[in-house]
Structure 1
Amino acid sequence: MTFPMLVDSNNNSYYNQYLKHKIDLPGYWNIKDKSLLLDVTGNGYRVSYKTGKTENEAALIRANCPIPISCGIFYFEITVISKGKDGYIGIGVCTSQMPTNRLPGWEKQSYGYHGDDGNLFKGSGSGKQYGPTFTTNDVVGCCVNLMQNTLFFTKNGVPLSEATNDLKGMTLYPCIGLRTPGESIEVNFGQRPFIFDIEQLIKEEKEKVLKSMKSQSNGEEEINSTQLVLDYLIHHGYFETIRSFAAVTGSSGQNLDSQLDDIKNRQKISDLLSRGDIDQVIQELNRLYPNFLQKRQDILFKLQCQKFIEMIKTAPIEDTMAFGQQELYKFSQISEDYETTLQEIFSLIAYTDPFKSPVSSLLSEQRRDPIINDLNCALLVHCNKPAIPVLEKLIRQCKVVIDESISNNASSFAGLLDLKEFIDSDSL
């Protein structure tokens, strides 16, 4: 029997940042990785020490998976349902090698905060005074900061002092240990809001990361942010925004005037294409960009296919079929991809009412949008401009770096980074 991970991100926004990155986090107790002296109930959250056993036999259980490095900060809490006979309850983290007949902190590479005496145990059976004791109804938390390699505990929402700063290189699991009959706890891995304000801590750590990234210079020439934004606006043809932006930043000039003229041309062609007037699109392309369609047969093919589709809507079927045979059939000899596309659009002729056919989506106006985008990019390349704005490339590259760092568990702060927050950060 296994328990599902029941984390509701609507109830606890702490987990939203990790769920969107698809980071696997500890979410319940592992019933296959525990002492036989423990019972697990309540969807994998509640752990109780069995009665009728020899007293003072320690029993430990680990979570279903280790804390991933890429999450940066991991936090969980337990509520003491009952302190049982003696309240020998320990909370902490340990490696997979930790024996399940020991309490957290009693073995090397394990750390535990114990309720009966408030002591902290760090890889030894001898504890040191750390915090207050805890008992029935208390909520105790454990926070692992893998960016700083530190660990601290909380009691009833109040953070205690740093417990250790030597977690580097360890693969750690959340764990708890019980020792006498009647002891029982319930864990919160994020299925409900925490008592401790973990989100404020994460916010503070994010700010530190962003400031650190900003302060680190690689010695390369600084990117001209004004030009990045201007190039982006020019690429997408935001005519009025460009003029306003240029006026504010002092980016005007003869070259800008020429690019504004080009934007007008591309916008005019895009508008014609969005209305389905393919003949006029081709006419304007030949007038404004001579030899473009001769060089870009792929764009010509897409335009001619769209013309065929527009003719299906309005022209006599005889004229549509004649156009297909005279202008489109020759493309089928060029590549299999072209032939497949032609077979699909030609199938429209087979239906009495193509608008109610299985391929009716071909007739939607939305089908023109990707052609508009492809044509715009092709015209930019034709005019010796990048098909993708440098700003978009930088953002895509940043996203790839973050995603790869997370998937390879290579960075301790990648899971905390939100690309939009990074771009909007005042520290940048």
Structure 2
Amino acid sequence: MTLISVELDKRSFWSRRLNHRLVLEKPPSVDNRAAHFKNRGDACLTSNLPIIAGHYNSATKRGVYFEITIRQMEGNAIIALGMQCLPYPPNRLPGWHRKSAALHFDDRRIYFDDSEGGIDYMRDVYNPQLGTSIKQHNVPEIKAMDIVGCGYEFPLNVGGVGSLFYTYNGERLPAAFPAIFDPKEEGQEFDVFAAVGFTDGPCQFDVNFGLTTFKWSDANSYLREWTVEGLFRQLGDGPPQYGS
């Protein structure tokens, strides 16, 4: 597996201190943008910095968003994309345990604290030949060069509801999970991290947190309403030394 991450404000989004459960094929590159693994079991990479950082989130932000571009996904390889709180077991796919949500690319089902198969991520589509609606996956079969995004839209006002959502090749899909990272009251905010899991085969993907243009055009607003760089500045001059 090859992971290519990005830097914003000179802060790397992936920690050099990789967990001992991830078997390195060779050391991370000098700029910390790529690491090569040879794992055969489940593994989960979590961003070094939170993309939702409790009360530090700016009032000018509509939400947070990032994308991955699939470069390679062969054989039985599975990639899972989502967000989660820490701690989280690094040898489990995201979505399976507490405060973790993910879309699994093999069955295209969504998972939140669910290791029992997830739930359908489907919508009703009218079929004129049948004269009725049929269920259809929100996400078509995912293949190399597809771009899948994951975002969290903040509540628009006090008492409103946020939601975790996905995009597929630039199209925003229906909300996957409402309110899962909304604080119930002041002082109960969550630190939420980007998560990418992988298992069972060779895969390669790029991760974009806003350093380059997003495929989902709404996130490219000049107001930078969906990117995370403003949050980095609020967190200080360097990344916190969180455990990996």
TM-score by length of 2: 0.66
Picking from 181, 185, 198, the partner of 1:178 is: 198
The answer for the alignment partner of 1:6 in structure 2 is: 7
Contact 2:5 / 2:206 at 8 angstroms: preserved in 1? no
Distance 1:79 1:4 in 2: 11
For the residues of structure 2 that align with 1:116 and 1:41, how far apart are their CA atoms?
A: 30
* Aligned mates of 2:206, 2:30 — CA distance in 1: 8
User: Match of 2:182?
Assistant: 168
Asked if the contact 1:87–1:135 (Cα under 8 Å) also holds between the matched residues in 2, the reply is no
1:63 correspondence with 2:47: yes
| Aligned residue number for residue 290 of structure 1 | none
AA in 2 matched with 1:88: I
**Aligned partner of residue 219 in structure 2, secondary structure:** helix
Corresponding residue number in structure 1 for 2:13:
28
Q: Share of identical aligned residues, percent?
A: 25
| Other structure's SS at 2:175 match | strand
Answering whether residue 100 of structure 2 is matched by residue 110 of structure 1, we say yes
Q: Distance in 2 between matches of 1:33 and 1:155?
A: 29
Task: In structure 2, give the amino acid aligned to 1:168.
Answer: D
Map Cα deviations across residues 65-98 of structure 1 (whole Å, 9 max, x no partner).
1122414411111111111321310010111211
Quick one: distance in 2 between partners of 1:28 and 1:82?
21
Residue 28 and residue 84 in structure 1: after superposition, are their counterparts in 2 closer, same or farther (change >3 A)?
Answer: farther
Report the structure number with the largest CA radius of gyration: 1
- Give yes or no for contact 2:45–2:196 (8 Å, CA) kept in 1: yes
Report the alpha carbon displacement of residue 182 of structure 1 after superposing the two structures with TM. 0.8
Structure 2 CA distance for partners of 1:198 and 1:81, relative to 1, 3 Å = same
Out of 153, 178, 183, the residue aligned to residue 145 of structure 1 is 153
CA–CA separation in structure 2 for the residues paired with 1:122 and 1:202 = 32
Question: How far is the alpha carbon of 1:45 from its aligned partner?
Answer: 4.3
Which whole-Å CA distance do the structure 1 matches of 2:24 and 2:182 have between them?
Answer: 30
User: Deviation at 1:140?
Assistant: 0.8
Amino acid at match of 2:102: G
**Deviation >3 Å, runs of 4+:** 37-49, 198-203
Q: 1:83 to 1:4 in 2, by over 3 A?
A: closer
Instruction: Give the unaligned 5+ runs of structure 2.
Output: 122-137, 156-160, 184-189, 236-244
1:284-310 CA distance string (max 9 Å, x none): xxxxxxxxxxxxxxxxxxxxxxxxxxx
Which structure features the higher share of strand residues?
2
Q: Aligned partners of 2:74 and 2:23: how far apart in 1?
A: 14
Q: CA deviation at 1:44?
A: 3.9
Contact 2:85 2:193 (8 Å CA) reproduced: yes
Residue-by-residue CA offset, 1:354-390 (whole Å, 9 max, x unaligned):
xxxxxxxxxxxxxxxxxxxxxxxxxxxxxxxxxxxxx
Residues 218-233 of structure 1 correspond to what in structure 2 (within 5 A)? none
Q: Which has the higher helix share?
A: 1
CA distance in 2, matches of 1:191, 1:171: 22
Label 1:121 to 1:49 Cα distance change in 2 as closer, same or farther (>3 A).
farther
Q: Is this contact kept in 2: 1:28–1:63, CA < 8 A?
A: yes
Task: Tell me which residue corresponds to 1:196.
Answer: 216
Contact 2:213/2:220 (CA < 8 Å) preserved in 1?
no
Report the Cα offset of residue 4 of structure 1: 9.6
